């Protein structure tokens, strides 16, 4: 072979043919069935009035589910268990091609309508629903006894998507028990906790068991700051007016932030939430699985991620502090928690966390992370201080209501919905989790500094192939660590386990182990003699 | 400032460059005829299969090289002139060096088969081979059947690649069982079965006689030696091993065997010229290793070692315990220490073999018949922890200890089924022992010492 001559053709010369990317006939029929289910919803959106709504809704949901499941059965059942990524980069839907963009635009449009123009879905305030929302009325009445809202429609579709694509995912990874069990977990939490339980809880409203009060809509697995609204005034009032149950739920909400999350994150890393429990994660891992490889792996993207996501944490902290502050009183004789004790409490808590990290973990933070932490800490403290000493009606330069509304609009709707999910086929399936989710960032902070979780690199077995990095939905360059024989301890890792699954050489293992030696793994085992390795490890 | 020139931008050359940069401020130039940037050769298959784009198999972003002041030159080195301490690129452009590292890798073997240079006949080694494959076998309409000649690691990878595009594949293997010059027979048999599960037409103990051309000088069919059978095909993959890619050094005065001859310091017979990776040939084999090791990991190790020498810390190439891995279609294979096939096994080497009744899983442990010392392990479908086996080999553990503590070495993902009980009980039956498997111990695995602080 003469490399000299061959070097002139360093490009794909595929003029004669293209790799196969068509789907089978059965998959085409399955797609048609699935789309017919969506078509019923679309017709309803254009105010076609279906005579028997319960029946047509059932047909629609069944068609979507059957279509998806049959499609995946056709894709995976005839193949042996193993990695199923053949042709991922040839298919237009999964490689930012034409169908990818169409899907992205369709999803984005749906989210814009959902969040900002629910009337187009048929939402009628104080009257009979129309359109799509009316189609979902029978199911909503069955569960909660109330007519449907746009959020009920969304919740139902969301759950159907997680269940149908969850089954697809489990077939795809049927050789991998970690993936199967994890997927069953997200399917369960979505169906029970996010969908059914809150609807059933709504049935209790006005009941004497709640002392005649009514509970706010509460998905119990949604922890602040992901559900940034959990401690808003109207919700606190509802909790407190709903007897012991309401009070218990409020306490649970607080414990889940300050006790449950830190303990579980310490023991298992943030994956216990992000890829086992969370609904956003659940959708990303199931319906979004076909797009996981589209995440940006560059160092530049990583830098943007760190600044954006931590800014969201600061934003949500300020916003929540302002909101809680706004409804607290000033009279200590009425209630122990007043405006000023609350502000002092927040300041003390933040100072304690900041000091502990700076004293014990400073070495593990990069320079810019240290500056960022110091900068943000100073800003928050200054704002709290300014307010504390000036005592005007505005909290933190803005009215708390303005802060709340802008957070809800910018982060709650635009970021988590329109961009986070709408752009799945363009930016990958974890854009929200990676760049926007304050809950993920806070757990990530702990995961990086104080947790038993890591991805262990198996000595020197890495061949730098890049499957792990490519299929990392969080855009972590896993290979960069693995090829040096280093463990992967990154705050953004959601522990989905796919890097380990796609690795052809058995190099990666997600595990919980001792803190000792977790991060500073040395490159002992690249295969060389020990003398050389001591030299190589010298920094 | 010293001028270090490296020919070849594969794992060996790039490892050398990176480590020289870590240790020094020398000027570093890498010359490659193949690609602009370093890529992972072992991952070429995934590009064809659509798992990754070519960009993804480049381990470093393109800005990396300039940032680390590693100069990249695209061109084919035609002459090395040690007297002038220079080399010629594409016959003309001269580059001076103070120290030269040859890391030019391999090229596919061709054994003089009639028709081996026809259109549609190719090996699978370089980026150019990958591009060529897109021409020869883009889909099953263009390539109605492919024939692969040579049953080694590249052969089975090429078969997997072609099957990912539904191209029918006939796989000619000289041996009477797949890769049984390396694998013990139980394992080789397991892979035979798995190849057939993937609807690959596996022909064992079958040799290629000739490749037949059509009227355009393109492959039309192959003829099999044993039976004289003619198999129509549109593409032939030659995957019968590789040879060092060193033809350009013929008249340079550098001592050549099959590869570039080097001593344990990776020095050639000419001062200031070194050779590393696939193209280097040790005067004497190191331990059980072959004189030429065409393996990813050894390329990396040699790169790291030569960097030390070049930066003033003269160091012998002393690879640690042998390890390797591969993936046969869906089955992962790992090996630590030495497990030889029946063909190459020495008298004192005894094997314990376990295979799962239904799943494609098996383990072979080699040990010394007399001293009972653990020699090595092969695993198929079960991942093992490198660090643990490396430690056990260094500590010269005996076979009973390894069997008893096997659970510690398991590296499968969490929640995977464990087979240690089955394995241990088979061992007990085979060798009349009564070993009880020890539970997994975090303390032992992570080698935890009590903290003193």
Which percentage of chain A shows pLDDT scores above 70? 91
Please compute the mean of the pLDDT values over residues B405-421 and round it to a whole number: 97
Give the gap in angstroms from C-alpha A495 to the nearest C-alpha of chain B: 11
Yes or no, beta carbons of A14 and B135 under 8 Å apart: yes
Residue-level pLDDT at B137: 97
Yes or no, beta carbons of A9 and B131 under 8 Å apart: yes
Q: Which residues are registered as beta bridge partners of B378?
A: B335, B364
Residue-level pLDDT at B43: 97
Does residue B116 fall inside a structural domain? no
The CATH code of the domain that includes B159 is 3.50.50.60
Residue-level pLDDT at B327: 97
d(CA A135, CA A41): 8
Q: Which residues of B touch A272 (CB under 8 A)?
A: none
Check pLDDT > 60 for residue A10: no
Does residue B330 fall inside a structural domain? yes
Check pLDDT > 50 for residue A6: no
For chain A, the residue count is 539
Residue-level pLDDT at A503: 98
Does residue A11 fall inside a structural domain? no
Does residue A62 fall inside a structural domain? yes
Which of A506, A508, A510 is the best substitution to test chain B (most B C-beta atoms within 10 A)?
A506
Burial of B187 (0-12, 13-18, 19+ CB in 10 A): buried
Q: Are residues B401 and B373 in the same domain?
A: yes
Q: Which residues of B touch A84 (CB under 8 A)?
A: none
Give the gap in angstroms from C-alpha A462 to the nearest C-alpha of chain B: 8
Residue-level pLDDT at A386: 76
Does residue A202 fall inside a structural domain? yes
Give the gap in angstroms from C-alpha B433 to the nearest C-alpha of chain A: 31
Give the gap in angstroms from C-alpha A506 to the nearest C-alpha of chain B: 6
Residue-level pLDDT at A431: 95
Kind of pairing, strands B27-32 and B260-262? unpaired
Residue-level pLDDT at A412: 86
CA gyration radius, chain A: 25
Q: What is the count of structural domains for chain B?
A: 3
Q: Which residues of B touch A517 (CB under 8 A)?
A: 446
d(CA A393, CA B245): 78
Strand, coil or helix: A455: strand
Q: What is the count of structural domains for chain A?
A: 2
Check pLDDT > 90 for residue A495: yes
Q: Are residues B149 and B36 in the same domain?
A: no
- Range of weakest confidence among A9-23, A137-151, B26-40, B210-224: A9-23
Backbone angles phi, psi at A51, to 5 degrees: -65, -55
Check pLDDT > 80 for residue A154: yes
- Confidence label for A390 from pLDDT (cuts 50, 70 and 90): low
Give the gap in angstroms from C-alpha A444 to the nearest C-alpha of chain B: 21
Yes or no, beta carbons of B315 and A531 under 8 Å apart: yes
Does residue B435 fall inside a structural domain? yes
Residue A510 host element (H or E): strand A508-512
Which of B93, B117, B383 is the best substitution to test chain A (most A C-beta atoms within 10 A)?
B383
The CATH code of the domain that includes B345 is 3.30.390.30
Q: Are residues B419 and B432 in the same domain?
A: yes
Does residue B114 fall inside a structural domain? no
Q: Are residues B154 and B255 in the same domain?
A: no
Does residue B423 fall inside a structural domain? yes
Residue A44 host element (H or E): helix A25-45
Q: Are residues B279 and B343 in the same domain?
A: no
Among partner residues A11, A85, A527, which is closest to B320 by beta-carbon distance? A527
Check pLDDT > 90 for residue A202: no
Check pLDDT > 80 for residue A263: yes
Q: Which residues of A touch B383 (CB under 8 A)?
A: 458, 506, 509
Residue-level pLDDT at A2: 41
Last residue within a domain, chosen from A243, A264, A294? A294
Does residue B214 fall inside a structural domain? yes
Please compute the mean of the pLDDT values over residues A80-90 and round it to a whole number: 95
- Confidence label for A395 from pLDDT (cuts 50, 70 and 90): low
Domain with A488, as residue range(s), is: 452-537
Which of A17, A97, A271, A513 is the best substitution to test chain B (most B C-beta atoms within 10 A)?
A17
Residue-level pLDDT at A397: 66
Among partner residues A298, A460, A513, which is closest to B61 by beta-carbon distance? A298
Strand, coil or helix: A366: coil
Last residue within a domain, chosen from B262, B285, B310? B310
Q: Are residues B236 and B252 in the same domain?
A: no
Among partner residues B33, B107, B413, which is closest to A500 by beta-carbon distance? B413
Q: Are residues B282 and B396 in the same domain?
A: no
Does residue B221 fall inside a structural domain? yes
Yes or no, beta carbons of B126 and A510 under 8 Å apart: no
How do residues A450-465 score in pLDDT, each as one tens digit? 999 999 999 899 999 9
The answer to whether the beta carbons of residues B55 and B63 sit under 8 Å apart is no
Yes or no, beta carbons of B323 and A509 under 8 Å apart: no
Yes or no, beta carbons of A458 and B315 under 8 Å apart: no
Residue-level pLDDT at A383: 78
Which percentage of chain B shows pLDDT scores above 90? 96
Yes or no, beta carbons of A526 and B383 under 8 Å apart: no
- Confidence label for A247 from pLDDT (cuts 50, 70 and 90): very high
Q: Are residues B208 and B297 in the same domain?
A: no
DSSP codes, A64-95: HHHHHHHHHHHHHTTS-SS---TTTTTSTTTT
Residue-level pLDDT at A413: 86
- Confidence label for A392 from pLDDT (cuts 50, 70 and 90): low
- Mean residue pLDDT of chain A comes to 88
Residue-level pLDDT at B359: 95
Give the gap in angstroms from C-alpha B323 to the nearest C-alpha of chain A: 8
Check pLDDT > 60 for residue B453: no
| Minimum Cα–Cα distance from A506: chain B residue | B383
Give the gap in angstroms from C-alpha B432 to the nearest C-alpha of chain A: 32
| Minimum Cα–Cα distance from B442: chain A residue | A513
Yes or no, beta carbons of A1 and B126 under 8 Å apart: yes
| Minimum Cα–Cα distance from A498: chain B residue | B413
- Confidence label for A126 from pLDDT (cuts 50, 70 and 90): confident
d(CA B441, CA B437): 12
Q: Assign 3-class secondary structure to chain B.
A: CCEEEEECCCHHHHHHHHHHHHHCCCEEEEEECCCCCCCCHHHHHHHHCCCCCHHHHCCCCCHHHHHCCEEEEECCEEEEECCCCEEEECCCEEEECCEEEECCCEEECCCCCCCCCCECEECCCCHHHHHHHHHHCCCCCCCCCEEEECCCHHHHHHHHHHHHCCCCEEEECCCCCCCCCCCCHHHHHHHHHHHHHCCCEEECCCCEEEEEECCCCEEEEEEECCCCCEEECCEEEECCCEEECCHHHCCCCCCECCCEEECCCCECCCCCEEECHHHEEECCCCCCCCCCCCCHHHHHHHHHHHHHHHCCCCCCCCECCCEEEEEECCEEEEEEECCCCCCCCCCCEEEEEEECCCCCCEEEEEEECCCCEEEEEEEECCCECHHHHHHHHHCCCEHHHHHHCHHHHECCCCCCCCCHHHHHHHHHHHHCCCCCCCCCCHHHHCCCCCCCC
Residue-level pLDDT at A523: 59
Yes or no, beta carbons of B131 and A506 under 8 Å apart: no
Give the gap in angstroms from C-alpha A424 to the nearest C-alpha of chain B: 18
Does residue A366 fall inside a structural domain? no
Does residue A421 fall inside a structural domain? no
Among partner residues A6, A86, A506, which is closest to B128 by beta-carbon distance? A6
Q: Are residues B236 and B248 in the same domain?
A: no
How many A×B Cβ pairs under 8 Å? 231
Q: Are residues B155 and B225 in the same domain?
A: yes
Check pLDDT > 90 for residue B261: yes
Please compute the mean of the pLDDT values over residues B312-329 and round it to a whole number: 94
- Range of weakest confidence among B169-173, B267-271, B439-443: B439-443
Yes or no, beta carbons of A1 and B78 under 8 Å apart: no
- Confidence label for A391 from pLDDT (cuts 50, 70 and 90): low
Does residue A457 fall inside a structural domain? yes
| Minimum Cα–Cα distance from A511: chain B residue | B414
- Confidence label for A1 from pLDDT (cuts 50, 70 and 90): very low
Yes or no, beta carbons of A514 and B442 under 8 Å apart: yes
- Confidence label for A528 from pLDDT (cuts 50, 70 and 90): low
How do residues B39-48 score in pLDDT, each as one tens digit? 999 999 999 9
Give the gap in angstroms from C-alpha B78 to the nearest C-alpha of chain A: 9
d(CA B410, CA B413): 9
Last residue within a domain, chosen from A266, A294, A322? A294
Does residue B292 fall inside a structural domain? yes
The CATH code of the domain that includes A502 is 3.30.70.20
Kind of pairing, strands B374-380 and B331-337? antiparallel
Yes or no, beta carbons of B297 and A527 under 8 Å apart: yes
Residue-level pLDDT at A206: 82
Q: Which residues are registered as beta bridge partners of B368?
A: B349
Residue-level pLDDT at A522: 56
Among partner residues B40, B49, B304, which is closest to A528 by beta-carbon distance? B304
ipTM value for the complex: 0.95
Last residue within a domain, chosen from B196, B220, B240? B240
Check pLDDT > 90 for residue A322: no
Among partner residues A460, A466, A531, which is closest to B59 by beta-carbon distance? A466
Does residue A134 fall inside a structural domain? yes
Where is pLDDT greater, at A117 or A335? A117
Residue-level pLDDT at A216: 87
| Minimum Cα–Cα distance from B238: chain A residue | A1
- Confidence label for A506 from pLDDT (cuts 50, 70 and 90): very high
Q: Are residues B126 and B208 in the same domain?
A: yes
pTM confidence score: 0.94
Check pLDDT > 80 for residue A527: no
Q: Are residues B331 and B436 in the same domain?
A: yes
d(CA A205, CA A264): 32
Q: Which residues of A touch B56 (CB under 8 A)?
A: 466, 469-470
- Confidence label for B221 from pLDDT (cuts 50, 70 and 90): very high
How do residues A409-443 score in pLDDT, each as one tens digit? 889 888 888 888 899 999 999 999 999 999 999 99
Yes or no, beta carbons of A88 and B415 under 8 Å apart: no
Where is pLDDT greater, at A9 or B162? B162
Does residue A324 fall inside a structural domain? no
Domain with B33, as residue range(s), is: 3-106+243-310
Last residue within a domain, chosen from B251, B276, B310? B310
Check pLDDT > 90 for residue A332: no
């Amino acid at each position: 072979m003469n490399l000299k001559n061959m070097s002139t053709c360093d490009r794909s010369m595929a003029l004669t043919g293209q790799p196969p990317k068509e789907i089978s006939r059965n998959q085409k029929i399955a797609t048609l069935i699935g789309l017919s289910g969506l078509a019923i919803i679309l017709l309803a959106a254009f105010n076609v009035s279906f005579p028997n709504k319960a029946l047509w809704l059932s047909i629609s949901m069944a068609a979507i589910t059957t279509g998806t499941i049959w499609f995946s059965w056709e894709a995976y059942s005839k193949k042996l268990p193993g990695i199923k990524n053949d042709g991922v980069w040839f298919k237009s839907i999964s490689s930012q091609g034409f169908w990818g963009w169409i899907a992205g635009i369709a999803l984005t449009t749906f989210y814009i309508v959902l969040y900002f123009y629910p009337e187009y879905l048929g939402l009628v305030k104080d009257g009979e629903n129309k359109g799509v929302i009316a189609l979902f009325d029978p199911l909503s009445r069955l569960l909660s006894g109330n007519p449907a809202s746009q959020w009920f429609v969304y919740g139902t579709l969301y759950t159907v998507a997680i269940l149908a694509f969850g089954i697809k995912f489990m077939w795809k990874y049927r050789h991998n028990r970690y993936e199967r069990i994890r997927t069953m977990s997200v399917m369960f939490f979505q169906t029970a906790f996010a969908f059914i339980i809150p609807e059933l809880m709504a049935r209790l409203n006005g009941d004497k068991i709640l002392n005649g009060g009514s509970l706010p809509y509460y998905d119990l697995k949604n922890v602040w700051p992901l559900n940034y609204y959990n401690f808003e005034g109207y919700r606190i009032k509802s909790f407190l007016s709903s007897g012991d149950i309401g009070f218990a739920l409020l306490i649970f909400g607080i414990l889940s932030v300050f006790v449950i999350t830190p303990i579980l994150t310490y023991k298992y890393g943030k994956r216990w939430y992000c890829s086992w429990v969370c609904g956003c994660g659940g959708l990303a891992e199931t319906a979004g699985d076909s797009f996981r490889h589209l995440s940006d792996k560059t160092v530049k993207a990583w830098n943007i991620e760190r600044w954006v996501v931590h800014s969201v944490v600061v934003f949500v902290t300020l916003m929540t502090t302002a909101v809680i502050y706004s409804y607290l009183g000033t009279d200590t004789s009425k209630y122990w928690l007043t405006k000023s004790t609350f502000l002092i409490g927040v300041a003390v808590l933040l100072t304690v966390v900041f000091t502990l990290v700076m004293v014990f973990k400073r070495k593990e933070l990069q320079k810019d992370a240290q500056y960022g932490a110091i900068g943000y800490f100073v800003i928050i403290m200054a704002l709290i201080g300014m307010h504390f000493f000036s005592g005007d009606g505005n909290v933190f330069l803005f009215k708390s209501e303005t802060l709340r509304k802008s957070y809800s609009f910018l982060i709650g709707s635009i970021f988590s919905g329109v961009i986070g999910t709408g752009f799945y086929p363009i930016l990958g399936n974890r854009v929200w989790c990676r760049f926007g989710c304050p809950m993920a960032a806070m757990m990530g902070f702990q995961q990086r500094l104080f947790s038993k979780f890591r991805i262990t690199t198996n000595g020197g077995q890495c061949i730098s192939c890049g499957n792990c990095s490519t299929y990392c939905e969080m855009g972590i360059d896993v290979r960069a660590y693995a090829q040096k024989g280093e463990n992967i301890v990154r705050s953004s890792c959601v522990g989905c386990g796919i890097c380990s699954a796609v690795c052809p050489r058995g190099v990666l293992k997600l595990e919980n182990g001792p803190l000792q030696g977790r991060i500073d793994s040395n490159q002992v085992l690249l295969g060389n003699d020990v003398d050389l390795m001591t030299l190589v490890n010298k920094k | 400032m010293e001028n270090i020139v490296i020919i070849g931008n594969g794992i060996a050359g790039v490892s050398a460059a990176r480590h020289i940069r870590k240790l020094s401020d020398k000027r570093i130039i890498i010359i490659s005829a193949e690609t602009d940037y370093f890529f992972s050769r072992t991952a070429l298959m995934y590009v064809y299969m659509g798992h990754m784009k070519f960009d993804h198999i480049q381990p470093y972003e393109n800005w990396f090289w300039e940032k680390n002041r590693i100069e990249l030159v695209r061109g084919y080195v035609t002459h090395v002139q040690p007297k002038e301490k220079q080399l010629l690129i594409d016959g003309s452009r001269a580059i001076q060096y103070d120290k030269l590292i040859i890391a030019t890798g391999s090229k596919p073997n061709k054994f003089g088969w009639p028709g081996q240079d026809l259109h549609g006949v190719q090996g699978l080694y370089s980026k150019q081979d990958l591009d060529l494959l897109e021409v020869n076998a883009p889909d099953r309409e263009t390539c109605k059947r492919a024939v692969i000649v040579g049953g080694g690691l590249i052969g089975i990878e090429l078969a997997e690649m072609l099957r990912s595009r539904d191209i029918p594949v006939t796989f000619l293997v000289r041996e009477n069982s797949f890769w049984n010059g390396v694998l013990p027979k139980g394992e080789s048999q397991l892979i035979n079965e798995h190849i057939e599960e993937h609807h690959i037409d596996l022909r064992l103990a079958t040799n290629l006689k000739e490749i037949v051309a059509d009227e355009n000088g393109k492959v039309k069919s192959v003829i099999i030696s044993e039976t004289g059978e003619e198999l129509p095909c549109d593409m032939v993959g030659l995957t019968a091993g590789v040879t060092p890619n060193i033809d350009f050094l013929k008249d340079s005065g550098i001592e050549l065997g099959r590869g570039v001859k080097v001593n344990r310091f990776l020095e050639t017979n000419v001062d200031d010229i070194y050779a590393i990776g696939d193209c280097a040939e040790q005067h004497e084999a190191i331990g059980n290793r072959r004189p030429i090791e065409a393996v990813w990991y050894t390329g990396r190790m040699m790169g790291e070692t030569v960097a030390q020498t070049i930066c003033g810390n003269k160091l012998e190439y002393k690879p640690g315990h042998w390890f390797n891995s591969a993936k046969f279609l869906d089955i992962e294979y790992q090996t630590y220490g030495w497990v030889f096939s029946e063909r190459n096994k020495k008298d004192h080497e005894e094997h314990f073999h376990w295979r799962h009744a239904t799943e494609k899983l098996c383990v072979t442990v080699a040990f010394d018949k007399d001293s009972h010392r653990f020699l090595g392990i092969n695993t198929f479908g079960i991942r093992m922890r490198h660090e643990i086996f490396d430690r056990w080999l260094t500590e010269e553990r005996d076979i009973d200890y390894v069997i008893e503590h096997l659970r510690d070495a398991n590296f499968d993902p969490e929640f995977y089924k464990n087979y240690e009980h089955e394995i241990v009980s088979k061992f007990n039956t085979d060798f009349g022992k009564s070993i009880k498997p020890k539970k997994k111990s975090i303390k032992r695995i992570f080698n935890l010492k009590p903290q003193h602080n």
